Amino acid sequence: MLQRTGQAKDAVDQYMVLFKENPNVLAHNYLEYVEIIGTFIQAEKIDELVSLAKEMIVPSVGQNFGQQFARSVARACVRGDNPEAAVEIYEKFIEVYPNRTHTYQDLASAYVAAGEREKAIQLLRGRLATGSTASQVETVLKLTELYWGSSELEDLTAEYATKLAEKPADPALLYLVASMKVAANNFEEAKPLINRLLKVLPAARRLSWMNRLAEAYRVAGDREWELRLLESAVESVDPKTSSRLSETYRKLAMAYAHKGEKEKAQNTLLKMGALRLSQRSVRYLEKEEVAKIYAQHDMLADAEALWTDLLNDFSVRPWTRRQAEQQLKKIKRRRAFLELKNRVVSKRKTTQRKPTVE
The pTM for the full model equals 0.82
Q: What is the distance of C-alpha 203 from the center of its chain? A: 20
CATH of the domain at 9: 1.25.40
Selection from 181, 268, 187 nearest residue 221 by Cα: 187
Structural domains counted in the chain: 1
Q: Is the pLDDT score of 25 beyond 90?
A: no
Q: Is the pLDDT score of 3 beyond 50?
A: no
Per residue in 108-124, pLDDT tens?
Answer: 999 999 999 999 999 99
CA 69, 70, 74, 77 dihedral sign is positive
In a domain, 3, yes or no: yes
Per residue in 284-309, pLDDT tens?
Answer: 888 999 999 999 999 999 999 999 99
Q: What is the mean pLDDT of residues 174-187?
A: 96
Selection from 2, 54, 28, 88 nearest residue 281 by Cα: 28
Q: Is the pLDDT score of 54 beyond 80?
A: yes
In a domain, 55, yes or no: yes
In a domain, 48, yes or no: yes
**354 — pLDDT class (breaks 50, 70, 90):** low
Domain extent at residue 28: 1-127
C-alpha dihedral, 129 to 135 to 137 to 141, nearest 10°: -100
Per residue in 231-281, pLDDT tens?
Answer: 999 998 887 767 789 999 999 999 999 999 999 999 999 999 999 988 756
Angle, CA of 33, 39 and 41, to the nearest 5°: 105
Instruction: Classify residue 25 by its DSSP letter.
Output: T
In a domain, 349, yes or no: no
Q: What is the mean pLDDT of residues 37-58?
A: 86
Asked whether the beta carbons of 147 and 180 are under 8 A apart, the reply is no
Q: Is the pLDDT score of 32 beyond 90?
A: no
Return the pLDDT at 1. Answer: 47
In a domain, 352, yes or no: no
Q: Report the distance separating Cα 79 and Cα 171, nearest Å.
A: 35
Return the pLDDT at 217. Answer: 97
Return the pLDDT at 28. Answer: 57
In a domain, 179, yes or no: no
In a domain, 76, yes or no: yes
In a domain, 30, yes or no: yes
